[in-house]
C-alpha cells in the first residue's frame, strides 16, 4: 500500500558518510508483567545499533499493539502512556538506522501481518541477498508490498506458505531466504528467535525472573539485570512458549562464521559476542597493532569513542602514555546549517575538538577503529597538526576495507572506499599523516584468539577485507552492484 510520507528528520552525525553505518538491533521477552517496559530498556541498551527509529509490538489477549517512531528509544518509549498502550506480557522491539533518503515510517519495524493461521510480528537485523528476486516473484504473483524492507519479504513468504502451523510457515520462509539475519518474531502464543545458517548477525538468549529474553547483544541483558544463557546457534530457531524453549535446526549443521565487524566496530565494548569480550578483542587488536607497526612517538591518542579500547591496548603494549587528545561533543543533534563557506569549514569541529594540552609539541599515535572513505581522517590529522602535534602517526585497528558489505552494514560503493582505490602510501598522503598502518589479517585473527585464518572455511565473515563472501549473492546478478547496494539496506 501507499507510503505515509514523513518529513525526513535524520540525525546525520556523519556528514561525509565516512563511517560504517550500523545495522539494527532486536529484542524480545516472553511472559513478563513488564514486557514492553523491559523491551524499551533493552532497545535503549542497543541504541548504538540504530538511532533513527524504533518500534515495539506487544501481544495482549487477542490483540497485537504496535508503536513505531522515528528517533531515540529514550525520547519515544519512555512515557507511561506509550508503554501502557503496549499492553501484554510478551513483546518484541527493533532499533534501526536510516536508509538512503531518510527513514520512512512504514519501513520501521517490527512489521506485522495477519496470516491465515494467526498474527505474526517480525523484527530483523541483517540483510538478505535474494530479497529482490523473491520480491519480484511475489509482485508477479499479485502480492502487494508496502515497504522496501526484507522483513516484509519474510512475512509474505510465511503468509504464502502452505504449512498449517505458524512456526512451520516461518521456517518455510527462512528456508527460502539467503543472507544474514537475526530475527525475533511474536505470535499470539510464542516468541521466536532465528539466526542465519552461518550466524553472521548475533543473537543471544537470556533470562530474567524465570522469563526468556532474546537480544542482539549481551549488553541488553545487563541493563535489566538478566542472566546470559547462551548464543542462539547458527541455523537455529528457538521457540519460546509457556512450555519453555524448544530448539529447531532449519539448516544443515556447519561451522559458525560470524561477522568480524561486530568486534571491530559495531557491538558495544561491554558485550560478549559468541563467547568473546568485545572490549578484550579490541584491546588485543591494539596490542597486535603495536607489535606490527609501532612508530617512534610520545603519546597514544584514540579517536573517540570507538578507538579507545584499541588505543589502550596499543599504549599498554607500546609502553607509551595514553592521552585524551581529542574531545568529543556528545550533544551533537541535527546537522547544523552552513550558510557560508567560512562557517561550513568550522563545522568540522562540531563533533571532535583537539585538546591542545595533550597534543602540543608531541609525536602522536592516532588510533582509529577503521578507515572507510578517509574524509574524517583528513580532518582529524589536520586538527591535530593545528593543535601543535609534531608528528602524526595514524594506526587503523583493522585491515584495509576493500569490498562492500551486503549483509546489513551500510558501506559506500567500492570506488568510494579509500583502500579500494589507493595503495598504502597513497592513503597516507591523502590523509596527511606522517605514517599510516593497518592491522594485518593474520594480526586480526590472532587478536580473535585464532592461530590463523582458515582460508577454506574462514572462522569469521570478513569479506570487506578479503572479498570472500560467505553466501550466494543472487540479487547482485539481477541488479548489478550499484542498485543492489542501494537495495541492500540494513534491517
Positions 242 through 281 that interact with its own copies (CB under 8 A)? 268-270, 272, 277-280
> Nearest approach, Cβ of 427 to its own copies (angstroms)?
26
Per the listing, cell 498474527 goes with: 119
- Catalytically annotated residues: 24
Minimum Å distance from CB 145 to its own copies?
7
423 annotated to a ligand binding site: no
* CB 188, min distance to its own copies, A: 15
Report the site for its own copies in 444-473 (rule: CB under 8 A). none
Using alpha carbons, select from 404, 408, 364 the residue that is nearest to residue 384: 364
In the complex with its own copies, the residue whose CB is nearer, 246 or 360, is 360
For residues 131-160, which are near its own copies according to CB under 8 A?
A: 139-147, 152, 155-156, 159-160
> Binding marks (x or -) toward its own copies, 211..230, rule CB under 8 A?
--------x--xxxx-----
CB of 324 or CB of 486, closer to its own copies: 324
Site string for its own copies, 161-180 (x = CB under 8 A): x-------------------
Name which of 355 and 421 has its Cβ closer to its own copies.
355
202 touches its own copies (CB under 8 A): no
Residue 20 contacts by C-beta under 8 Å, 6 or more apart in sequence?
A: 261, 265, 266, 370, 372, 405, 409, 410, 411
Residue whose CB is less far from its own copies, 249 or 344: 344
- Which segment (112-120, 235-243, 449-457, 483-491) binds its own copies by CB under 8 A? 112-120
Q: Which is nearer to its own copies, 99 or 234 (CB)?
A: 99
Binders in 280-309 for its own copies, by CB under 8 A: 280, 305, 308-309
Q: Which stretch binds its own copies (CB under 8 A): 46-54, 176-184, 234-242, 250-258?
A: 46-54
Q: Contact letters (x/-) for its own copies, 51-70, by CB under 8 A?
A: x---x-x------xxxxx--
- Size of the residue set binding its own copies (CB under 8 A): 106
Closest approach of Cβ 471 to its own copies, in Å?
26
According to the annotation, is 306 in a ligand binding site? yes
For its own copies, which residue of 62, 337, 361, 456 counts as binding (CB under 8 A)? 337
**Which 347-376 positions form the footprint of its own copies (CB under 8 A)?**
347, 349-350, 353-358
308 or 409: CB nearest its own copies:
308
- Report the nearest approach of its own copies to the CB of residue 130 (Å): 19
Edge-to-edge strands, sheet with 90-96 = 63-70, 53-60, 90-96, 24-30, 211-215, 204-208, 227-231
Residues in the annotated binding site:
306, 368-369
* Annotated binding residues for Mg(2+): 306, 368-369
Amino acid at each position: 500500500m501507499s507510503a505515509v510520507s514523513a518529513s525526513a528528520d535524520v540525525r546525520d552525525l556523519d556528514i561525509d558518510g565516512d563511517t560504517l553505518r550500523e545495522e539494527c538491533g532486536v529484542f524480545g521477552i516472553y511472559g513478563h508483567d513488564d514486557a514492553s517496559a523491559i523491551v524499551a530498556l533493552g532497545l535503549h541498551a542497543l541504541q548504538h545499533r540504530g538511532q533513527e527509529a524504533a518500534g515495539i509490538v506487544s501481544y495482549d489477549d487477542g490483540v497485537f499493539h504496535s508503536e513505531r517512531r522515528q528517533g531515540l528509544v529514550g525520547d519515544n518509549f519512555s512515557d507511561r502512556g506509550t508503554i501502557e498502550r503496549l499492553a501484554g506480557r510478551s513483546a518484541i522491539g527493533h532499533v534501526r538506522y536510516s536508509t538512503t533518503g531518510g527513514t520512512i515510517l512504514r519501513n520501521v519495524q517490527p512489521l506485522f501481518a495477519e496470516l491465515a493461521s494467526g498474527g505474526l510480528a517480525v523484527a530483523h537485523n541483517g540483510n538478505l541477498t535474494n530479497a529482490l528476486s523473491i520480491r519480484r516473484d511475489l509482485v508477479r504473483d499479485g502480492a502487494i508490498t508496502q515497504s522496501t524492507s526484507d522483513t516484509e519479504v519474510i512475512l509474505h513468504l510465511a503468509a504464502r506458505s502452505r504449512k498449517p502451523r505458524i512456526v512451520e510457515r516461518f521456517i518455510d520462509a527462512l528456508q527460502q531466504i539467503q543472507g544474514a539475519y537475526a530475527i525475533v518474531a511474536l505470535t499470539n502464543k510464542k516468541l521466536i528467535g532465528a539466526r542465519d545458517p552461518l550466524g553472521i548477525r548475533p543473537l543471544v538468549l537470556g533470562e530474567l525472573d524465570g522469563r526468556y529474553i532474546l537480544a542482539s547483544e549481551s549488553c541488553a541483558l545487563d541493563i535489566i539485570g538478566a542472566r546470559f544463557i547462551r548464543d542462539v546457534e547458527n541455523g537455529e530457531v528457538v521457540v519460546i512458549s509457556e512450555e519453555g524453549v524448544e530448539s529447531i535446526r532449519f539448516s544443515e549443521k556447519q561451522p559458525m562464521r560470524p561477522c568480524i565487524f561486530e568486534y571491530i566496530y559495531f557491538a558495544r565494548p561491554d558485550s560478549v559476542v559468541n563467547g568473546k569480550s568485545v572490549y578484550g578483542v579490541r584491546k588485543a587488536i591494539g596490542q597486535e597493532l603495536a607489535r606490527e607497526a609501532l612508530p617512534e612517538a610520545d603519546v597514544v591518542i584514540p579517536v573517540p569513542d570507538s578507538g579507545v579500547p584499541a588505543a589502550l591496548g596499543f599504549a599498554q603494549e607500546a609502553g607509551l602514555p595514553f592521552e585524551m587528545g581529542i574531545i568529543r561533543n556528545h550533544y551533537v543533534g541535527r546537522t547544523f546549517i552552513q550558510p557560508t563557506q567560512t562557517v561550513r569549514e568550522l563545522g568540522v569541529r562540531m563533533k571532535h575538538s583537539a585538546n591542545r594540552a595533550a597534543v602540543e609539541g608531541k609525536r602522536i599515535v592516532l588510533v582509529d577503529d577503521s578507515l572507510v572513505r578517509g574524509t574524517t581522517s583528513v580532518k582529524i590529522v589536520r586538527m591535530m597538526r593545528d593543535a601543535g602535534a609534531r608528528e602524526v602517526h595514524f594506526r587503523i585497528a583493522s585491515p584495509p576495507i576493500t569490498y562492500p558489505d551486503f549483509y546489513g552494514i551500510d558501506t559506500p560503493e567500492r570506488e568510494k572506499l579509500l583502500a579500494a582505490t589507493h595503495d598504502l602510501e597513497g592513503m597516507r598522503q591523502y590523509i596527511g599523516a606522517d605514517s599510516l598502518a593497518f592491522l594485518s589479517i593474520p594480526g586480526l585473527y590472532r587478536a580473535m584468539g585464532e592461530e590463523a585464518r582458515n582460508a577454506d572455511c574462514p572462522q569469521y565473515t570478513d569479506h570487506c577485507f578479503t572479498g570472500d563472501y560467505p553466501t550466494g549473492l543472487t540479487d547482485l546478478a539481477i541488479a548489478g552492484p550499484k542498485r543492489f547496494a542501494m537495495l541492500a539496506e540494513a534491517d
